[in-house]
Chains A and B, each alone.
Chain A
């Protein structure tokens, strides 16, 4: 294996120059698959990178950007993935290669934040050979921290030497790091220099040096560390004893026990005051750790201390010294001590566990001092077990309130067969408070045979006895006790008693193991009962649950007694499961009492929230509920219920109520809840729909502080979707002035360009300003340009013009997505104004009146542009022509510009998402081949496919659709019955296609076979979509869960499993459909005869849009 790898590396190195051309696209294609869904996939990807040799790693590192410079997270995932991958056992060669490449990139890195990241990866995987190159960075104030962290992780004498070497030369900030690290590594060689620093004038360094000296623990540092007590600085004084003890500890650890003990004893002697006793404790702990059993005299002495903290610390240490000899000493000590000390020792003896202490502890049970007795109860129980049970029982009658918890705990620690008879025996003769404890213990131990006794006690004149008895009933009552319990409940007035009795009834019912008959006895009591009893029982019913109790509650809901009816409705509204749903809905539609309606609505919403139903079903039920007639205000709980279902549908439903005068507030709160910064990251929350709804919500809010809050949520969500703000609302950071046009700029030398740029920036700042969070242009001067170049991207920008205004958005430095006054130019804004061959006018006019804000969403992928204006599609995937050089296609990348056209302009909310470009075909993995997958598409031509082979073409490893040549269906030649199909696809904005399954070659596959929808369902043009049309749906039959698609322009993965009557669709790792196709019938109300087919062709069903497919492979089942 090793040899093979070495050969691979050699080839990679040799082949370097030949590969170079290929390397970038190859790395791009691998990077595109990061982050990996599983560790196995990550390891596969890392292996692919390492096959490219050091250049591959270098190429990854070259894609790292300083924060704010763009989205480099894929490169970071890859670099860290590699660092982790190469640290697996047995990968030494790969690790060495990776680290070499990392160090090379580090040496060439000009940006410190990138260098810092590279150092952090060396911290993961670096070894001794990295010490020297990394140590160089200790001299850099900024990078000393990450460099030191890497060196400390690597550790060893080399690292220690490197720190020592850099101590004199490092700048002040870095020196602190170096000194601290010398201590961390216990660098004894540094002693002399550290001693000098410890006497120096710089307090920070002095303290770091003292701390390092203590950590190293060389006797030579003793004098300076003991001197710290009289140090100048308060902090040094406060820290002194701890440091000195650390020093002492290190001495003991390194075998200088005598010196260490001397130091510890010095501290022990001088820190006796209560507020300092923890230092004495620490010294004592060190003495015990050094001397073990021989430290017993020290401990016995310490146990005399009047300071409870110190005493307790000593007794805690005593636990570590075993043996009956020590026990004898402790017993002797305790016998001769006052109650406080004695109590503490007794407690310790209990925890220590030597049974030799039992006679003494047992004797302490009868001590005249309460403290001692309290300590003795658990200690005796622990040491003596059942032997001391009689002693404990004896105490119950005589002890006071304070001892009761300890006695109760001790009694419960014994088995029931021992405890119950004793409790019963002494119950009558025991006074309070012991009596209450005995009743309680009977309950806890489940002494059901004693229940009659407890029922008698429920009538006791003493409240404490009564409440103990009522409490015990919950543990004891069975079905036959129900009449008595109900009768008590009917009469009970005390709140706690009511709760306890309800609890008792519920547990009595649950005692019946027969689920079907569980509630029968209780329901029997409901029959012909007077209203007060009915009410008492009805209130308990929801906690009992089940079909028969539900029916009983429903019957009482028709009661003539108004109060009984109300309680019945209440009971139904509290029902724990979905069973009550239909009844609650009935109440909502039929009741004339508003209170009942509200109870039913709230109950219904609560039941749906808890029900084990798919989210889509929950929303459908809530939507139906909203359709029922009721006061607007009564719908509030329904909206809150919708907001609790985390689905894109909820967003849309709530958005529909934003302008509602009664429900607007509830809808807004619900929306904010759905999208809040703390909500889990889901793709749909970063989509355009959420963006639009949140902006609408923001406009509706009156309070600027709340507007700002929404801003934060939007920003957060966009960030999660890969957007970065191009404009921070505060200044012109990230923007520059305009220098010539792209051909003009290309002709300039770097120096000329820099000079021209500086001048342009100067001009820019005179005319572009930030006012109230918007970019404002005064109407004179030139366009404003984003500082960086962008290739493929999605751009969001709000704009506003004045009457007669004119502007545009330049893409890749080229004109333009048109902005103008639609009152004068009725075609409206958004068109590709300078197109001559392709369409230049927008598809429709979607402008808002002049003076209002408009929103562009512009996608530029390859040569094509899609524009949405105020959520209307105005440019549909149209080629942007090159204005500057008409004979050339549009440039591959360039700057985004806001065009100046001699009139005032306003822009805000500018966000951009870069879309990675795919350039190379990923190869099928060996693991899949081994699993039985075979490619359905060979990557070169359409061999094995039939149908519209004109509109579909094989291009560089992908099947691509050219709608202008044809837009039919492309089918496999073969038929398939049960299979797992995996493929990747990339959508263009609003793209529509479909995957035919078990389809015939003729007819509409959606009905004659099955069609699994392929659709960019996040596009604003699809807002009115039915759920069975979402991406992944079995069209018209089974709706899919929405929100699993990646943003437009990125590759998605899909896995379709068809097995018998079951179809499952997994998109980007999320299961969106998993259904039995026979189960639910169709949802579009149409006939789908194709569902009955057992096999057929697999195909892509064209709908006139551009879609790409790749890596299509299949396993037959």
Chain B
């Protein structure tokens, strides 16, 4: 499992993916020594996990691609094809981290690997661009925050609505909404409803299969490594590529997939980057212990009375996106506040955010969506997942980050990993 094999692209193309198993394993000392350090103004990167989302990361601007890594030789081969010459391929992410000439590690593996690779990358002195959801459990999130902080790394989560991109359904970025809230136009506390009515459609279900007949592992996939910290379960194609989101072991259904996209900007608007809800409630069908199912509604309440509603069925047809005692904001930036736009314009803007990752890496400034607020918004996702799995109202202590007196819920905060992996 932990051979350090580096596969040269030429070899790969010559032999083809099917024959890749017979490739020579190049011993570490052949590669070893000092790599070529990049000129100070050119950042370099590697992408770990080059299946679905990882493909996109190959071309993200800001840094030069030097290496790709995947436990599926098929994925690796086609990523190397796309990447072109000069990009090395690896099967073990630790070999990528060992390369001194790479600055940034993109993590586009399934979520059950995000924390371990983030921590290892931080401890190897790399900066990190991690796919959403940031981590699969709350404890993993905490560990990533610590590791990034201790090692002085720059970290970002790959979701955008907090600082750019049009905020679904509002025809604007998030700034004016934040501005309205921060200048008290809506009053306090606020209720945010996330549904198709308000512009976010929870249409990504990602349902797992509840009964599977095991199948032989395809020769190109190192399934044991793919599972890594996750409990061993017999292989079935639905568990891996493209459909892994349907299983609690690796992700958390539509919540895992889209949750951070939708919830991170809400957390920012509500000014909750430093805390978490105290009460979480879910209405959903009973969940299978392995396969994620659907849910109808989730409500999360903060200590100050702010509430986030995840309306999965789009039941509140007239729900505003934001509702406070003094006013409401609806889809399309409609509002019951007269002359909202005019009033807003003259008010002070929210503090500017650092939104260029390469710039953040060069200047060592914290990125707008970093490990800390990212951990909090991923906690929203993870709290919702736990409420859905347990089907009871949860009480959360946002300081200690535990559920006081709820042992079963606490066991979902920090889930043991399969050896040798651990936080």
Using a CB–CB cutoff of 8 Å, the interface residues on chain A facing chain B are 34-39, 41-42, 67-68, 70-73, 76-77, 79-81, 83-84, 87-89, 113, 116-117, 120-121, 123-125, 145-146, 148-149, 152-153, 176-177, 179-181, 183-184, 204, 207-208, 211, 234-235, 238, 242, 245, 275-279, 281-282, 285-286, 308-313, 316, 344, 347, 378, 382, 406, 409, 412-417, 420, 444-446, 448, 475, 513, 677-678, 680-681, 716, 719-720, 722, 724-725, 728, 1069
Residues of chain A contacted by B98 (CB below 8 angstroms)? 234, 238
Bound: A724/B123 CA distance, A? 46
Residues of chain A contacted by B8 (CB below 8 angstroms)? none
Is the CB of B364 closer than 8 A to any CB of chain A?
A: yes
Contact status B151-A281, CB under 8 Å: yes
Contact status A677-B345, CB under 8 Å: no
Bound: A378/B352 CA distance, A? 9
Contact among A87, A680, A716 for B408, CB-based, below 8 A: A87
Residue among B151, B152, B346 with the most chain A CB within 10 A? B152
* 19 A-B pairs with C-beta separation under 8 A: A67-B212, A70-B211, A84-B392, A88-B392, A123-B416, A149-B415, A153-B411, A177-B418, A184-B416, A277-B152, A278-B122, A278-B152, A279-B125, A316-B152, A316-B366, A409-B352, A444-B349, A446-B344, A678-B242
Residues of chain B contacted by A71 (CB below 8 angstroms)? 210-211
Of residues 141 through 158 on chain B, the ones whose CB sits less than 8 Å from some CB of chain A are 149-153
By beta carbon, the residue of chain A nearest B213 is A68
By beta carbon, the residue of chain B nearest A414 is B348
Residue among A81, A84, A716 with the most chain B CB within 10 A? A84
Contact status B149-A285, CB under 8 Å: yes
Contact among B4, B205, B290 for A681, CB-based, below 8 A: B205
Bound: A36/B286 CA distance, A? 5
Is the CB of B325 closer than 8 A to any CB of chain A?
A: no
Bound: A998/B205 CA distance, A? 40
Contact status A180-B422, CB under 8 Å: yes
Is the CB of B365 closer than 8 A to any CB of chain A?
A: yes
Contact status A148-B348, CB under 8 Å: no
Residue among A37, A406, A513 with the most chain B CB within 10 A? A37
By beta carbon, the residue of chain B nearest A724 is B213
Question: Given A34-B286, A309-B152: A278 and B125 within 8 A (CB)?
Answer: yes
Contact status B214-A68, CB under 8 Å: yes
Residues of chain B contacted by A245 (CB below 8 angstroms)? 150
Residues of chain A contacted by B288 (CB below 8 angstroms)? 35, 73, 76-77, 80
Residues of chain B contacted by A35 (CB below 8 angstroms)? 285-288, 293
Among the 9-residue stretches B75-83, B231-239, B261-269, the one with 4 or more Cβ atoms under 8 Å from chain A is: B231-239
Residues of chain B contacted by A81 (CB below 8 angstroms)? 286
Contact status B125-A276, CB under 8 Å: yes
Contact status A145-B231, CB under 8 Å: yes
Contact status A76-B290, CB under 8 Å: yes
Is the CB of B351 closer than 8 A to any CB of chain A?
A: yes
Contact status B420-A207, CB under 8 Å: yes
Contact among B214, B366, B411 for A123, CB-based, below 8 A: B411
Contact status B408-A125, CB under 8 Å: yes
Is the CB of B358 closer than 8 A to any CB of chain A?
A: no
Contact among B210, B242, B243, B392 for A76, CB-based, below 8 A: B210
Residues of chain A contacted by B165 (CB below 8 angstroms)? none
| B interface bracket (residues with beta carbon within 8 Å of A) | 35 or more
Contact among B283, B289, B405, B419 for A121, CB-based, below 8 A: B289
Is the CB of B2 closer than 8 A to any CB of chain A?
A: yes
Using a CB–CB cutoff of 8 Å, the interface residues on chain B facing chain A are 2, 4, 28, 32, 37, 94, 98, 100, 122-125, 149-153, 203, 205, 207, 209-215, 231-234, 236, 238, 242-243, 283-290, 293, 338, 341-342, 344-349, 351-352, 363-366, 389-392, 405-408, 411, 415-416, 418-420, 422
Bound: A4/B418 CA distance, A? 42
Question: Given A149-B231, A378-B352, A417-B346: A176 and B153 within 8 A (CB)?
Answer: no
Bound: A123/B364 CA distance, A? 42
Contact among B37, B344, B390 for A84, CB-based, below 8 A: B390
By beta carbon, the residue of chain A nearest B408 is A87
Bound: A176/B224 CA distance, A? 15
Contact among A39, A42, A277, A415 for B348, CB-based, below 8 A: A415
Bound: A148/B231 CA distance, A? 11
Residues of chain A contacted by B405 (CB below 8 angstroms)? 89
Residues of chain A contacted by B352 (CB below 8 angstroms)? 378, 406, 409, 413
Contact status B100-A177, CB under 8 Å: no
Give min CB distance, A1110 to chain B, whole Å: 22
Contact status B205-A677, CB under 8 Å: no
Contact status A153-B243, CB under 8 Å: no
Question: Given A89-B406, A281-B150, A513-B338: A680 and B205 within 8 A (CB)?
Answer: yes
Bound: A415/B344 CA distance, A? 10
Bound: A414/B351 CA distance, A? 10
Contact among A37, A412, A677 for B285, CB-based, below 8 A: A37
Contact status B125-A277, CB under 8 Å: yes
Residues of chain B contacted by A77 (CB below 8 angstroms)? 210, 286, 288-289
Question: Given A81-B286, A234-B98, A275-B100: A148 and B2 within 8 A (CB)?
Answer: no
By beta carbon, the residue of chain A nearest B285 is A37
Contact status B422-A145, CB under 8 Å: no
Residue among B94, B100, B123, B344 with the most chain A CB within 10 A? B123
Residues of chain A contacted by B236 (CB below 8 angstroms)? 67
Residues of chain A contacted by B351 (CB below 8 angstroms)? 382, 413
Bound: A276/B408 CA distance, A? 41
By beta carbon, the residue of chain B nearest A343 is B363
Contact status B345-A180, CB under 8 Å: no
Residues of chain B contacted by A183 (CB below 8 angstroms)? 422
Bound: A146/B150 CA distance, A? 32
Bound: A995/B233 CA distance, A? 47
Residues of chain A contacted by B342 (CB below 8 angstroms)? 446, 448
Apart from the given pairs A76-B288, A148-B419, A309-B125, 6 other A-B contacts in the complex at a CB distance below 8 Å: A38-B286, A70-B211, A77-B210, A77-B288, A153-B411, A1069-B285
Contact status B419-A177, CB under 8 Å: yes
Bound: A89/B403 CA distance, A? 12
By beta carbon, the residue of chain A nearest B212 is A67
Top 3 closest pairs, chain A to chain B, by CB: A446-B345, A313-B152, A416-B346
Give min CB distance, A602 to chain B, whole Å: 23
Contact status B286-A153, CB under 8 Å: no
Contact status B214-A416, CB under 8 Å: no
Bound: A87/B405 CA distance, A? 11
Give min CB distance, A795 to chain B, whole Å: 16
Bound: A88/B205 CA distance, A? 28
Residues of chain B contacted by A153 (CB below 8 angstroms)? 411, 415-416
Bound: A37/B349 CA distance, A? 46
Residues of chain B contacted by A235 (CB below 8 angstroms)? 2, 94
Residues of chain B contacted by A406 (CB below 8 angstroms)? 352
Bound: A281/B389 CA distance, A? 39
Contact status B150-A38, CB under 8 Å: no
Contact status A278-B151, CB under 8 Å: yes
Residues of chain A contacted by B233 (CB below 8 angstroms)? 67
By beta carbon, the residue of chain A nearest B100 is A275
Contact status A412-B348, CB under 8 Å: yes
Bound: A242/B411 CA distance, A? 27
Question: Given A149-B231, A416-B347: A312 and B209 within 8 A (CB)?
Answer: no
Residues of chain B contacted by A316 (CB below 8 angstroms)? 149, 152, 366
Contact among A113, A148, A281 for B234, CB-based, below 8 A: A113
By beta carbon, the residue of chain B nearest A308 is B364
Bound: A406/B209 CA distance, A? 52
Residues of chain A contacted by B391 (CB below 8 angstroms)? 38-39, 42, 84
Contact status B345-A475, CB under 8 Å: yes
Contact status A445-B346, CB under 8 Å: yes
Contact among A36, A70, A145, A725 for B232, CB-based, below 8 A: A145
Residue among B233, B242, B290, B391 with the most chain A CB within 10 A? B391
Bound: A152/B416 CA distance, A? 6
By beta carbon, the residue of chain B nearest A89 is B405
Residues of chain B contacted by A123 (CB below 8 angstroms)? 411, 416
Residues of chain B contacted by A41 (CB below 8 angstroms)? 286
Contact among A177, A204, A310, A414 for B152, CB-based, below 8 A: A310
